[in-house]
Structures are given as C-alpha cells and as structure tokens.
Structure 1
Amino acid sequence: MELRQRLRLLSVTIAATPLVLAGCTADRLPGARQVNTAPPQLTVTPGDHAGDVPVSAEVGATVKDGKITSVRLTDDKGAQVPAEPREDGSSWVPAKPLQNSRTYTAEVTATGGKGRTTTQKATFRTMAKPDNRQAVTTVLNFAADQTYGTAMPVVVTFDPAIPKEARADVQRRLFVKTDPPQPGTWSWLDDGKQVEYRAPDFWQPGTKISVRSALEGLPIGKDAIGDADRSGTSKIGRQVSLDIDNATKQMAVYQDGKLLRKIPVSLGKPSTPSSSGTMVIMEKFDYTTFNTMGDPNGGYIVDVEDAQRLTNGGEFIHAAPWSVGDQGNANVSHGCTNVSNENADWLMGITQVGDLVTVKGTEVALDPGNGWTAWNVGWDEFAKGSALPVPVGLRPTVTVTATPQPGPVAGGSAPAPARSNSGG
C-alpha cells in the first residue's frame, strides 16, 4: 500500500514538471526573444494637405518598428510619377521635377513584425510658378553621349553665386552614378560660383557616368530658385595626359603611361605668363578666333587652328606657325602653349575633353576656378570643400601625377558655357 502511494506521487511530479519549466521559459528566462506584433508607425512628407510645396520636393518617410516596402507617387490625373530612392533610403526622388500648381498623392507602405503593414497617404499641392524670386542660372559641363578623358570632373557653375548657408541643400540635389562604382564627392569654390565632383583618383577607362543637376524649382536662400533640371550620361575613354615643362620648353604626351611624343613649345612671355598647375582640357576647336582687344598688354584679333582650351581666362594649346622658331627655346605667347601646325593637328587626334594637362615652372600659379581645377589640389584638400559629410574611408589610394602609369586607374544636360576666346 505504501509503495503504490509513493509511485503515484512520483508520476504526478514527473508529469507536472514540463508545465512548470515551460512557464519559467516564457516568463522569466533572460534574453528571450520578444516578437513585436504592433503595426509600424509611419510618417510621410510632404504632409497631407500641404500646400505651396516646391517642385523639387521628394517623398520622405520615417518608420518605427518596420521598414518601407512600397512608395507610389501619382499626379492629380492618376498617372504614376517615376521616382527612385536615395542610397540612404531617406527619400524618393522623382525622375523629373514636379509641375507647378498641381496636386500629387504619395502612398507609402511599411511592413513590420509578422508581416503587419501600415499604409499612409499624403496629398499635397505644389507652389505656383514664382514671379518674385531670382532664377539661379546653372550650367552643367557634362553633356550626353560623349567620350571624356580620365580626369574629367563634373562641374556645375552658378550665376549668381550660391551662399554658404544654401550650399548643402543645393549639393543634395546633385547626383552622380558611376558604373563600375567609383565614389567621390563634391567640392565648392570659396566664392560659391562653382562646385566640382571627382573621385580620389582618375576614372577607370570605360566607366559609364550619369549626372543629374536636379535644381529646377529648388529654393536657394530666401529670394532665389533653381532654374532647370539638367542631366547627361557619357563614358570615359582612353587615358591621355600632357606634361608641359617650362624649364625644357617641351611637352610630353602619354597614353596609358606610355610616352607617345615630345613636342617643343613656346609658353607665355614674362609679361603674360602661362599658369602653372594641373588643368583639364575643356573644349576643342578646329578653328576659332582669339580677340584680346582692350588688353593692356597688347590687343589683337587672330584666327587659329587646332585650339584646346585649358582655362576660362583664355589659355589654350594651339597651332602657332608664327612662333615655330621659338618653340623649344623661348616664351613669346600671351599665355597659351604654342606648338607647330603638325603637332597641333596630331594632338587633336589624340586628346579628349577631360584629359589631364600639367604645366610647371612658370611665373604664376593657376587660380582656383580658372577652368576645371578639381585636380589642382590633393584629395584631402578637395574633400574639405564639400558642404555635406564625406563618407568615412573615402581616401585616395594612388598619388595623382601628371603621367599616370599603365593599367587600370580608379576614380562623375546642358551645353558648356559660352566663353570669349582670348587666347595667346
């Protein structure tokens, strides 16, 4: 009798134990995973019923306890507006500027734990076309369907200049995509008239670069607004560089690090010296006219052949048959690099807009912004000019030189700005 009672008690204890342990596991064990089944909390911008929204607006969304899984933007006729997310996912950027005085609806869905979703709609109206704000004229140097050199920077110029307090907002609307990826940054000139984009090192030959200056309708400061949305997609060609030395009066021409030719040159005379620095070929002309009338150093009008622009101020490489006797011996130009007809013609067939040109040993240094001067400073100095944080780890791996070595090198619409050809 006593033995049977003890066995019954033991069996009750064993049967009860798993229930007790299960209760402890669910309620008290540290580190137990809790599944959040609450729906995500979602906030969309522009907000519902917002008015006077700039046509540069993006669809922004913040979410708690979930992630964004769908974004749809439609106009007041029900047509979907194409858009793509920023890399950080902070907003969705319409592929084209929105239209003035139109109504749009953003529909955003977020998904949280156990697949629970939250969808929020926001209907907003864009501002009327402003008539009391100054339009900031923008010019993008990166045209579509071109082949550029490996030192080609992306350059946007502004008139009037962009004040410091507005530069971050402007920079956020400047987009560069590269294939293969070669990240870089934008850098502002101190006067705010120009911003340039490049990577720490030269672009890889064959790189595809797409650029968009999405500034149409963007409020810039209190009284100005962006004038246009400009874009271009082009590729990077072969690697060519020109190294000009005033000491020897010689130009060395390299392709993929291999010396192709040495060319005698005549640079700017002491009263009108050529600039020393690292430049980029900006434009090429089979024929053009230099007009320096009014120059205190002596004005003239002359037709020239095979001219390649290096600076805004009018420094070119060009054919100068009148100075062949001085080329390789003396400087007699008004700041340009003079070469023979034969060498100028040969150069036109070798070079591309965006090729690197380095001049050294002259009496004056290249001024920032006198042309495309992104390569005239080192990467660390260049990156300091960004109005937005530069990604950590974006540092150069190869020292920039005027004569890139063979092999791969690492590495961004509107017509180019009209300029007078002063020449020399």
Structure 2
Amino acid sequence: MRRSAPAGRRGGGRLRLAVTAMLAGTLLLTAACSGGGDDDKPSWQGGGNGSGAGASQAPSAGPKLSTVAVTSPATDATSVELRSEVKYNSEDPQNTEVTVTDAKGKTVEGTLDKDGNAWRPAEALAWNTKYTVTVKTPAAEGKNNTTTSSFTTMKEPSDLVRVTSFLADGQTVGVGMPLIMKFGKAIPEKYRGEVERRMPVTATPAQEGTWRWISPTEVQYRPKEYWQAGTKVFYKAQLKGVKLGDNAYGRSDLTVDLKIGRKMVMNVSNKTKTMTVEEDGKVIKTIKVSLGKKSTPSASGTMVVMEKAAHTIFDTTDEDPVNGYKTPIDWAQRVTYSGQFIHAAPWSEGVQGRSNVSHGCVNISEALGKWLFDRTLMGDVVTVSGTEEKLKNGDGWTNWNMSWEEYKKGSYLKN
C-alpha cells in the first residue's frame, strides 16, 4: 500500500510553487519598469532595436504658438526719424498684422512688407510725437498672441531745407520738358542718392527716365527719349524729415501732377536759313530766319522753350555799357540762359532766309512770330544746326543736348 505524504509536506510544496510564481512575476515587472537606457527598454516601449509592426509612435506635439516681437525702433526709443520703418519678428509673417497709432489713438496709414517683416509709413510721421506699435498673429492654443511697443519721433530741427518744384499741378508742357527740383541749400554728395530714391516719377504710359544733378541745389529729370505726347506725369518729393545734410532735414513733402501735350519740334538750319516746324511728326510750317552774325553766332544744339513773353525789352547795357542796347521785342521765346531767343524782328525781315544779322537769336517775321508764339508750349524742343558755335551744356535746359548714357552719369543712383 502506497504511503501518503504527510500533510505538512503537501502544504509546503504548494507554498514553494506559489512563492516561485510570485518571484517570477516580480522579475518580469522589474524588467518591464526599470532599466538604465534605451537598450534596456522593450521594443513595444520604443527601446532597444525593436522595430516590429506592433511598435507604436511617440505622441505628436500639439499646435505651436507663433511668437511676435518688435525689433525696431527699440521699445521707448526717442529721437526716431520721421520715415523710420517698424521691423518685427514673427513665426507666421503672412498672417501677422501691424497697427501703428499716434498719441490720440488714430491709426497711421502705412504699407506692410510681409516678406521683409517691415511696416513703412505712407507719409512722414509728425515731429516729437509718441507712437504705439501693435503686432498680432492669430490666436493659438487659446492664447491671444499680441505684443505692443512705443517710440517717440525726433524734435523738429532748426536746420530745415526747403524743397520746391519749378512745375505745378495742372500744367501742360512740351515733350522736351525736364522735371526740375530745387533745394534751399546745397545737398552734399553722400545724401543725393537717398534724395533721388525719395523722388519717384510715374509716367502713364511708362517710360524709362532718371534724375541728373545740375548743381548741388538743383536736380532735373528726363526720360530716355522725348516724353510721349499725351503722357500723364506724377512725381513727388517725400523729403520731410529726410536727412539732407549732416544736421539738415527736409522741411516738407510735395507732389506734382501734369500732362505732356502734343509733340512739337522746331528745327532751325543755318544752311537753309529756315525753321521747319513739326507737330506730331508732320511739317506744319516752314519759316525764314536770320541767325547770329559771325561776331555773335547762334549756338548749335538741342534746346527747349524755357520762357515766353508776348512783349518785353532786351536790355544789354548792364553787360556792355558801350555797345549795349535796349530794344522792344515781340513774341519772345527764351531757349538759353545766356540770352538766345526766338523772336519777331521786323527790322531783319528783308534778309531773313538769306543772311545772318542777329546778336545770336533766331529772328523771324512779326506775323510768323505771333503765329509760332500762339502754338508753342514751355518744354517744346528747338534744334539749331550748322552754326560756328556749339551749345554749352548747362546754358539752359540742355538735358537733350547729350546722349542718354552721358545723362545717366549725373545720377547718384548707380544701377
């Protein structure tokens, strides 16, 4: 007969089995919950080299809040120039809004360059005024992402430079008319390029052109070719608060809106002693002329009508007290600073078309002097050819008396 194990021994066996199972479970739990590095992690927790199909990915990050900051002008900056741009940082520039307000809370007009992260005022800001900048991007993660900054513009300086335009709104001028801007004091060379940048010219239809410095106080603009007949021209000087010298600033802005008339060109030939008048490419009149005699020759070159007077007096006695003269003149049209005019000269009508007897002017008859005077505009082109003397650049509006390549050299904006 088989003997049974004692009860104590049977119970002890079951106890050993339970302890063994519990220890094994403890070891598995320890292996799963502890470890010194990635190599100790099971593959299903992203550790070790496991990459089985059952591996899960780490949870993705939530939406990131875009941050903004004003970088220029610095917060609470003072003496800021009137045309300074506002620079900012943004992680979402295409959806960033920029608002600038003055001390009264009025919004300042400006343009936003989202690619360059810059806001630029449409006009000069006011002197000695506090402005507040607000930069904002769309809310993210329930937060309103907005920043503000303030700055104060410079006080009005004592040295302000007056800027004036020779032409005014509403004028109609000839196809050779240069745009002329003058300054109340000399502009040093290092500031001239910035002045040109601040004086944009818009022509409709569009035409290539450039400014050229005639002197430290005067700059003129012409297109590459004569203005197209009927062109609308708009130009502006955005110079208020712009530095025009070491301690000088522009006093104000100005704009001019004008029109180019029909194309009229007067071609004077010393060889034939005639003036051929062309309008829009067609000859409308041929006029007999008398030019300057050998001792006082007319200048050959390309000029424009600068000034018109129906009746005036030529007085040269101040320049030449001995041989000077005072003579009443009708239908005078100035083409040079030095005194070359187109005008009626009834005393030379008998030789007009045959010989030269003037002091350098273009003489025409009384009747044709009025006919021409009634049809010309300031800025109409006059060419004289075949005389003993050449026109000196600068003796009048001689913008067309040089090539385009030569003319461009007078600009401080280098392409």
Give the TM-score, by structure 2 length: 0.72
Distance 1:92 1:330, change over 3 A: farther
Query: CA offset at residue 286 of structure 1?
Result: 2.5
Residues 92 and 349 from structure 1, CA distance in 2 versus in 1: closer, same or farther, beyond 3 angstroms?
farther
Mapped pair 1:94 → 2:122? yes
When residues 370 and 18 of structure 1 are mapped into structure 2, their CA distance, relative to the original with a 3 A threshold, is farther
The change in CA–CA distance for 1:180 and 1:166 in structure 2 (over 3 A counts) is: same
- Aligned mates of 1:295, 1:64 — CA distance in 2: 69
Deviation, 1:238, is 0.9
Conserved 8 A contact 2:157-2:248: no
| Secondary structure, aligned partner of 1:52 | strand
Cα-to-partner distance string for 1:298-354 (whole Å, 9 max, x where unaligned): 433334232222223332222222332332233333332222221121112322222
Q: Distance in 2 between matches of 1:301 and 1:68?
A: 73
CA offset at residue 254 of structure 1?
Answer: 0.6
Question: What TM-score do you get using the length of structure 1 for normalisation?
Answer: 0.71
Alpha-carbon distance in 2 for matches of 1:122, 1:314: 60
Contact 2:243–2:249 (Cα < 8 Å) also in 1: yes
In the other structure, the counterpart of 1:50 is 77
Structure 1 residues 126, 369: CA separation in 2 closer, same or farther (over 3 Å shift)?
farther
Partner of 2:334: 309
SS of residue paired to 1:350: coil
Q: AA paired with 2:79?
A: D
Residue 145 of structure 1: how far off its partner (Å)? 0.6
1:19-418 mapped onto 2 (5 Å cutoff): 39=66, 45-55=72-82, 57-61=83-87, 66-67=93-94, 72-83=99-110, 92-95=120-123, 97-107=124-134, 121-131=148-158, 133=159, 135-189=160-214, 191-296=215-320, 298-390=323-415
How big is the shift at 1:377?
Answer: 1.6
Give the 3 Å change call, closer, same or farther, for CA 243–267 of structure 1 in structure 2: same
Change in 2 beyond 3 A, CA 1:174/1:249: same
Query: Which has the greater radius of gyration?
Result: 2
User: 1:405 is matched with which residue?
Assistant: none
Shift of 1:144: 0.4
User: In the aligned structure 1, how far is the partner of 2:53 from the partner of 2:308?
Assistant: 85
Report SS of the residue matched to 2:397. coil
Distance 1:369 1:76, change over 3 A: farther
Does the CA contact (< 8 Å) of 1:186 and 1:386 recur in 2? Answer: yes
Distance, in Å, in 2 between the alignment partners of 1:360 and 1:117 is 74
Contact 1:138 1:228 in 2 (8 A): yes
Relative contact order: is structure 1 or structure 2 higher (C-alpha 8 Å, sep ≥ 6)?
1
Q: How much does 1:62 deviate? A: 6.5
1:92 partner amino acid: R
Q: Distance in 1 between matches of 2:330 and 2:225?
A: 33
Q: CA deviation at 1:212?
A: 0.9
Residue 277 of structure 1 contacts residue 359 of structure 1 at CA under 8 Å; is this kept in 2?
Answer: yes
Matched residue SS, 2:236: strand
Using the alignment, how far apart are the partners of 2:295 and 2:88 within structure 1?
A: 61
Going from structure 1 to structure 2, the CA distance change for 1:43 and 1:303 (only over 3 Å counts) comes to: farther
- Write the distance in 2 (CA, Å) between the matches of 1:275 and 1:117: 74
Task: Identify unmatched segments of 5+ residues in structure 1.
Answer: 1-15, 24-35, 391-424
